[in-house]
Amino acid sequence: MIAVVSALGMTAVLGGCGSTGSSDVTLRLVAADYGDSAAGSSQKYWDKLVEQYEDTHPDVKVDVSVYSWNDVDSKVKEMVDAGKAPDLAQIGAYADYAAEGKLYEASDLLSIPVQADFLSRLAEAGQVNHVQYGIPFAASTRVLFYNKTLFAEAGITPPTTWDQLAADARALKDQGVEYPYALPLGSEEAQAETMQWLLSGGDGYTDTIGTYTIDSAQNVQTFDWLKDDLVTKGLTGPVAPGKLNRADAFAAFANGRVGMVNGHPALMRQAAKNGVKFGMVPMPGRTGEAKAAMGVADWMMAFKENGHAKQIGDFLNFVYDEKNVLAFSHEYGLLPVTGSASDAMSQDSQDKDLHAFLDQLTTAELYPVGKTSWAVVSADIKKTIGQAVAPGGSPADVLGRIQATATTADSSASS
């Protein structure tokens, strides 16, 4: 959502904020940065929102600290481990804190209308053992972006199958395109690119009952194809996929150096700002459309350590007001997480470029964030998946090792 990136995949800038004045209660919020520069930092959004809230709630002060996606998760963990948990954290995963009994249930905080307004698929993804702890904050889905100018020069059309994608990439390379298909499997957000390809190959991270299937035959075949038909043939650009981060791939696309890349809504603004003419199509599957689009959500959570449930809930009810949800979505090119804001966006012609992403969100497949093991598994994917397509690498071996990590982490979480 991006010198660094979230689950959603944005750039991040380190910042900090705090409003002034005395109050009876001070809420501390640690939030991730979705901006792509200091000027566009999420600090700007939170400063304005907090000012509006404090104007009508003089007995409550809200201190917000904004950190890059590279740092925010570890920063919150450090605070929690030190016994100094923030009241609120807006980060990429919640389930491990919920399993440790550190979080308020959403129903302890939110009004019934606010809690009922969340899109059902996202609300369900925020549950552990059928209880909602993770409160959706921002969402996105992914499509395949392509550079219309480069495609026209190569005389090709957007792909609908893997074979066509490989053929398009070859034609782009023959035209001298630096990154025919950008494959970011670097440590920043490799879990997203990996999941999109696993879904397009007909499988995913888990089966229908939530058991990890990372080294399934279908998933191994998917990475065999990536390695043999794209990477080894030099169709993914000069940077090894395991060293290429999503932010760098997006920046290269926005500079006209990439033919194709999987992207989320924020890439539209980034590319348009530089005058790049682009198109968007569903991610191709092996022989047709992918099994499902990939959806990503980032999460708000409230820690019980300091109490303040009443004040936290009141502030969150304000945060999730329709106009505030829409303001954040418009500012950072993301999808709203509530039904009311989604309906408003779908009916607004000014948001027509986002409608394709909105349509996918209700059926998109999300990370298995409700599993307390997911944080460990995601970190392992980021660290090692690039090895699967490296020279001499074995997709079966790499996916097998990640599966072993996932199985062990899952067993430890449930024991």
Contacts of 377 (CB under 8 A, 6+ apart): 205, 212, 214, 371, 402, 405, 406, 409
Q: Would residue 396 count as lying in a domain?
A: no
Q: Do both 110 and 238 map to the same domain? A: no
Residues 283 and 195 occupy one common structural domain = yes
Residue 339 lies in a domain: yes
DSSP-based three-state secondary structure for 393? coil
Per-residue pLDDT, 10: 46
pLDDT tens digits, residue range 154-172? Answer: 999 999 999 999 999 999 9
Domain count for the chain, please give it. 2
Range of the domain at 157: 143-292
Domain assignment of residue 385, yes or no: no
In a domain, 378, yes or no: no
Confidence of residue 92 (pLDDT cuts 50, 70, 90): confident
Tell me the average pLDDT across 386-395. 97
Phi first, then psi, for residue 295 (nearest 5°) are: -110, 150
Confidence category of residue 23, pLDDT binned at 50, 70, 90: low
Q: Which CATH number goes with the domain that contains 182?
A: 3.40.190.10
Please check whether residue 13 lies inside any domain of the structure: no
Count of Cβ atoms closer than 10 Å to residue 283 Cβ:
21
pTM comes to: 0.83
The last residue of one of the domains, among 292, 309, 334, is 292
Residue 266 · residue 186 · CB < 8 Å: no
| Residues above pLDDT 90, as percent of the chain | 75
Q: Residue 355 has what DSSP assignment?
A: H
Instruction: Tally the C-alpha atoms within 13 A of residue 11's C-alpha that lie toward its C-beta.
Output: 20
Q: Same domain for 271 and 318? A: no
- The answer to whether position 392 is within a domain reads no
Q: Is the domain of 266 the same as that of 153? A: yes
pLDDT surpasses 50 at 18:
no
SS3 label, residue 10: coil
Which of 272, 292, 312 marks a domain boundary? 292
User: Quick one: what percent of the chain has pLDDT higher than 70?
Assistant: 94
Identify whether residues 186 and 99 lie together within a single domain: no
Asked whether residue 156 falls in the same domain as residue 276, the answer is: yes
Q: What is the pLDDT of residues 280-323, one digit of tens each?
A: 999 999 998 888 889 999 999 999 999 999 999 999 999 999 99
Of 248, 265, 292, the last residue of a domain is 292
Does residue 168 share a domain with residue 278?
A: yes
Whether residue 166 sits in one domain with residue 118: no
Residues 172 and 194 reside in one and the same domain: yes
pLDDT at 105: 97
Query: What is the model's pLDDT at position 2?
Result: 37
Co-location of 251 and 171 in the same domain: yes
DSSP string covering 120-136:
HHHHHHTEETTEE--EE
* 167 and 302 part of one domain: no
**Residues 210 and 301 grouped into a single domain:** no
